[in-house]
Amino acid sequence: MSQRVLTTESGAPVADNQNSATAGAGGPVLLQDQHLLEKLARFNRERIPERVVHARGSGAYGYFEVTDDVTGFTRADFLSEVGRRTETFIRFSTVADSLGGADAVRDPRGFALKFYTAEGNYDLVGNNTPVFFIKDPVKFPDFIHSQKRDPFTGRQEPDNVWDFWANSPESTHQITWLMGDRGIPASYRHMNGFGSHTYQWTNAEGEAFYVKYHFKTNQGVRSLSAEQGAEQVGKDANSHQTDLLQAIERGVNPSWTLHVQVMPAAEAADYRFNPFDVTKVWPHADYPLRRVGRLVLDRNPDNVFAEVEQAAFSPNNFVPGIGPSPDRMLQGRLFAYADAQRYRLGVNHTQLPVNAPKAAVVDNYGRDGLHATRHGSRQDRNYEPNSYGGPAQTGQALAAPIAVHGWTGTHEAPAHTKDDDFFQAGELYRLMSADEKDRLVANIAGGLSQVTRDDVIEKNLAHFHAADADYGRRVEEAVRALRED
């Protein structure tokens, strides 16, 4: 095989890649050395802004196969027949840490899935927990600031973490999840995934349903204790990335079974919990799981930067038959996720191979901008409506309309009969075994005992007392014991 020739970005052959051009053998480097300048300038620009959240991630390709008929609930084409397969890309991630953080830490895990459907890309952006810390997007920047590195100390501060939670009682449910046994997954393969938010499905007759997604791991749920997590971080900070990569390379393809909970739209108004509050779950006794299909991961990316770091997910990428709900956090993310990608990757990030549709044709009037690769033909007009056969609207909404009423303004979400910030956290605690409760209490006390302000500690303890008397008593005793040591 003939030797490949090294070239510059413009395609010119490089004569010497070992020595810079100089003024004489011992003289200074010349500004005219085009290869040197281009190489250094490109190196300076190899990194793009990291994600503010979900910065550290791993990804893989695979497919989703429908195993059960759900056409009574949605007209989405990729779910239209049993046996139908759709190519997918998934990105797992930690939430709070930076790109250089470790994998085996106590943190929620992102579970972002891209379906390359024939009707366009459908992005489902969730976590490995069914709930979240807050219910309104206006609080999201403050929440993340409290969990990130302090601007003065340069480290994550227990005072900041627990102070935000002390003043945000709706976080109690998610804290109970995070500090429990599933707070540190053993690997990405051994955790469940959730859409977390409530979404809308619409069938061919126009009937609307609200749904929650549950991806149950077929490898079984496995988690690490705090001690095991710390040990794993010391051995291999990239443990989850390593595990996912090697499993797929060995042909041990991870898989999940997708179930959904389905609520007829008419039942939402009178349900005992606000069905659009992401800090709440729908008990399975009320809305049992319905199997939909299976997700299988069978191919590793060839280039982590190009395909994992540049992967862009936006929960507003819907397809016919699937749409949003009035879930406030979801509504905020419909804007924020896409805008974050425009900032990080540019307005044409959807043209990158990992983000571009694979089973659908893109035909719109978007033109130009940084890194544009899709320009259309010389006959195409870049406006609509036009008289030259350009793409036109279908007149068919992707999802059913949502009725609204009342005055504009800032309002608290309407309360349902069982709505409070503590009931479901208490229910979760009471489901735990004695050993699980021991570990939960120890994990909470380990962080809360480091807080320097007594009033912040007392506010947090009040939340655990409100969730369950035994829960609150045990956390209070554990915190007191650690602070007296």
pLDDT value of residue 337:
92
pLDDT in tens, 254-299: 999 999 999 999 999 999 999 999 999 999 999 999 999 999 999 9
Total Cβ atoms within 10 A of residue 385? 8
Confidence of residue 422 (pLDDT cuts 50, 70, 90): very high
- The 8-class DSSP code of residue 430 comes to H
Q: Is the pLDDT of residue 67 over 80?
A: yes
pLDDT value of residue 380:
82
Residues 253, 94, 173, 212, CA torsion sign: negative
Given 35, 121, 127, 190, which residue is catalytic? Answer: 127
pLDDT in tens, 201-234: 999 999 999 999 999 999 999 999 999 999 999 9
Confidence of residue 384 (pLDDT cuts 50, 70, 90): confident
pLDDT value of residue 10:
87
240 in catalytic set: no
Which of the two residues, 257 and 389, has the higher pLDDT score?
A: 257
Length of the chain: 485
pLDDT value of residue 167:
97
Which CA distances in Å does 445 have to 112, 168, 312?
A: 31, 18, 37
- Neighbouring-strand partners of residue 194: 127, 214
Q: Is the pLDDT of residue 51 over 80?
A: yes
The rounded distance, in Å, linking the Cα atoms of 434 and 147 is 29
- The 8-class DSSP code of residue 45 comes to T
Which ranges constitute the DSSP H helices of 252-384? 304, 328-345
Sequence-ordered list of residues with C-beta below 8 angstroms from that of 33, at least 6 positions apart, any chain: 20, 21
Q: Is the pLDDT of residue 374 over 80?
A: no
Terminal C-alpha separation, the chain: 70
| Mean pLDDT for the stretch of residues 429-437 | 97
Torsion of CA 26, 31, 37, 41, to 10 degrees: 120
- Where are the strands (E) in 57-136, listed by range? 57-66, 85-94, 109-117, 120-127
Q: Which two tokens stand for residue 222?
A: 């496995």
Q: Is the pLDDT of residue 368 over 80?
A: yes
Q: In this structure, are residues 77 and 122 in contact, taking their beta carbons and an 8 Å threshold?
A: no
Residues 304, 251, 182, 87, CA torsion sign: positive
The pTM for the full model equals 0.93
Q: Is the pLDDT of residue 369 over 90?
A: no
pLDDT value of residue 218:
98
- Neighbouring-strand partners of residue 200: 210, 323
pLDDT value of residue 353:
93
Total Cβ atoms within 10 A of residue 348? 18
pLDDT value of residue 407:
87
Q: Is the pLDDT of residue 408 over 90?
A: no
- Where are the strands (E) in 191-241, listed by range? 193-194, 199-202, 208-217
Residue type for position 470? D
pLDDT value of residue 373:
80
| Mean pLDDT for the stretch of residues 10-30 | 91
pLDDT in tens, 121-165: 999 999 999 999 999 999 999 999 999 999 999 999 999 999 999
- Neighbouring-strand partners of residue 193: 215
SS3 letters across 107-125: CCEEEEEEEEECCEEEEEE
pLDDT value of residue 290:
98
Q: Is the pLDDT of residue 363 over 90?
A: no
Mean per-residue pLDDT of the chain: 94
Region for 220 from its dihedrals, namely left if φ exceeds 0, alpha if ψ lies in -120 to 50, beta otherwise: left
Instruction: State the DSSP H helix or E strand holding residue 162, giving kind and residue range, or none if neither.
Output: helix 158-166
Nearest-Å Rg of the Cα atoms of the chain is: 25
For the chain, the maximum distance between any two Cα atoms, rounded to a whole number of angstroms, is 84
Q: Which two tokens stand for residue 434?
A: 């004695």
Given 17, 19, 44, 54, which residue is catalytic? Answer: 54
386 in catalytic set: no
pLDDT in tens, 89-102: 999 999 998 999 99
